[in-house]
Amino acid sequence: EIVLTQSPGTLSLSPGERATLSCRASQSVSSSYLAWYQQKPGQAPRLLIYGASSRATGIPDRFSGSGSGTDFTLTISRLEPEDFAVYYCQQYGSSPQAFGQGTKVEIK
């Protein structure tokens, strides 16, 4: 069973700054089957990135994903006010699928 560990737990940044979120897997994630989701309070999660680096439909290009094997990164190039939220990674390459514990991006 693959365990995903996200870091940091909380990221305090200002609008316009760059955010770098990490997701580390306990074993290699096959075929880069790694997704990133954004969740705002009171809302369902929203898919941002799939296949480690492909943006989902309608996702702005300030969001980018990278990585392979056991180390993956979500980068938000310039934070907009609406980007302050919790972000989760998910591996879907092997069963059982699993989410990381989340990283909260908060306004500094």
Partner 1 sequence: EVQLVQSGAEVKKPGESLKISCKGSGYSFTSYWIGWVRQMPGKGLEWMGIIYPGDSDTRYSPSFQGQVTISADKSISTAYLQWSSLKASDTAMYYCALVRGPRPHDAFDIWGQGTMVTVSS
- What one-letter code names the amino acid at 14? S
**Non-local CB neighbours of 23 within 8 Å, separated by 6+ positions:** 4, 5, 6, 34, 36, 67, 71, 72, 73, 74, 89, 100
Q: How far is the CB of 7 from partner 1 (least distance, A)?
A: 14
- Which distant-in-sequence residues (6+ apart) come within 8 Å of 97 by Cβ? 90, 91
Pick the piece of the chain touching partner 1 (CB under 8 A) from 16-24, 61-69, 77-85, 99-107. Answer: 99-107
In this complex, which beta carbon is closest to partner 1, that of residue 18 or of residue 97?
97
**Residue among 24, 46, 55, 62 that touches partner 1 (CB under 8 A):** 46
User: Which positions touch partner 1 (CB under 8 A)?
Assistant: 1, 33, 35, 37, 39, 44-47, 50-51, 56-57, 88, 90, 92-102
